[in-house]
């Protein structure tokens, strides 16, 4: 038996370690789980940023190319599971038929999907006068924007373990992305896609994920939406992560995508 690969793609202001519980959970279900770091990001046990100059130069196109290369290197078509900016990358890749299925959790809003006025400021750098290549969040802002549905102690723990700066270039790209990195919402030949939202998300409000879902309305490929009540943007790593992960596993199973599969099923 061969194991179906699943590639986890993390989002802005978080590091690859944010997927550690998911990777373990999926591996227990027979998947070959990978959570590759962004270019310039440090390893899970090291400093959050190993190469600031490299990470600072990462834009949306480079990030998309990075994960496309990972997906194509695996020998069989992977499941792509992304969060925030990573969810945007996952949508683009499955739309380009790189990946057998994709899950986009709280996907970053681009491509004509506008943020509500009250949420637009959450994506802006906290210090507009700063010019450095990396944008950091304080523990206070992390809780206000990403972890607003958990207690302060849990937010602080998540911040200490999983937070890292995001490239200013990447944040700018989200405001005006190149056409080549936008998801193809009309490709009927792509694999199944699940969009997931937290209804208390301040960074990517539920209304934004629903608007993104509607953009796939004319496509005959499988596109589903799942909303989680009382959950914020950190729904993939806070204490309720398991309910989201298990829903995704059940959804994949419903589309005939399990962890282990016969070798003849490789494609």
Q: In terms of Cα–Cα distance, which of 82, 52, 83, 61 is closest to 167?
A: 52
pLDDT at site 262:
46
pLDDT at site 56:
94
Q: Are 224 and 195 in contact (CB under 8 A)?
A: yes
Question: Where do we find the tokens 């405001």?
Answer: 175
* Span between the terminal Cα atoms of the chain, in Å: 14
pLDDT at 231 over 80: yes
Mean pLDDT of the chain: 89
Give the pLDDT confidence of 11-40 residue by residue, as tens digits: 999 999 999 999 999 999 999 999 999 999
CA 188 – CA 23 distance, rounded (Å) = 29
The total number of residues shown for the chain amounts to 267
Please report the sign of the dihedral spanned by the C-alpha atoms of residue 119, residue 125, residue 126, residue 128.
negative
CA 191 – CA 222 distance, rounded (Å) = 7
pLDDT at 178 over 90: no
CB < 8 Å & 24+ apart, contacts of 38-44: 38/10, 38/63, 38/66, 39/63, 39/66, 41/15, 41/16, 41/164, 42/15, 42/164, 44/15, 44/16, 44/17, 44/20
Q: What is the mean pLDDT of residues 56-81?
A: 96
CA 25 – CA 245 distance, rounded (Å) = 8
pLDDT at site 116:
56
pLDDT at site 123:
60
Query: What global pTM score does this model have?
Result: 0.92
Q: Are 104 and 94 in contact (CB under 8 A)?
A: no
Q: In terms of Cα–Cα distance, which of 111, 149, 100, 142 is closest to 258?
A: 100
- Confidence label for 259 from pLDDT (cuts 50, 70 and 90): confident
88 backbone dihedrals φ, ψ, rounded to 5°: -65, -45
**Domains of the chain, each with CATH number or no CATH:** 2-257 (3.40.50.1820)
Reported in sequence order, the residue ranges of 112-247 that DSSP labels E, i.e. its strands, are 134-135, 166-167, 193-198, 223-228
């Amino acid at each position: 038996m061969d194991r179906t690969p699943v590639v986890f793609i993390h989002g802005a202001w978080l590091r690859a370690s944010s997927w550690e519980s998911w990777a373990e959970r999926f591996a227990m279900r027979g998947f070959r789980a990978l959570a590759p770091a962004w270019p310039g990001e440090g390893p899970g046990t090291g400093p959050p940023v190993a190469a600031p100059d490299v990470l600072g130069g990462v834009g949306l196109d480079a990030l998309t190319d990075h994960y496309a290369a990972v997906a194509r290197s695996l020998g069989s078509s992977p499941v792509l599971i992304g969060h925030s900016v990573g969810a945007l990358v996952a949508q683009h890749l499955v739309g380009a038929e790189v990946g057998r299925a994709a899950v986009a959790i709280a996907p970053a809003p681009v491509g004509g999907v506008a943020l509500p006025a009250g949420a637009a400021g959450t994506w802006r750098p906290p210090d507009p006068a700063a010019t450095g290549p990396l944008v950091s969040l304080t523990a206070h802002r992390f809780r206000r924007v990403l972890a607003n549905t958990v207690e302060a102690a849990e937010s602080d723990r998540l911040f200490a373990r999983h937070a890292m700066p995001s490239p200013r270039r990447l944040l700018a790209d989200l405001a005006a992305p190149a056409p080549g990195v936008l998801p193809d919402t009309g490709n009927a030949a792509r694999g199944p896609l699940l969009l997931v939202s937290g209804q208390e998300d301040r960074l990517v409000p539920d209304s934004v994920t629903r608007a993104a879902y509607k953009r796939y309305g004319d496509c005959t490929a499988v596109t589903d939406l799942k909303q989680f009540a009382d959950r914020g943007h950190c729904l993939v790593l806070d204490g309720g992560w398991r309910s989201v992960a298990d829903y995704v596993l059940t959804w994949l199973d419903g589309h005939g995508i399990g962890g282990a599969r016969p070798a003849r099923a490789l494609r």
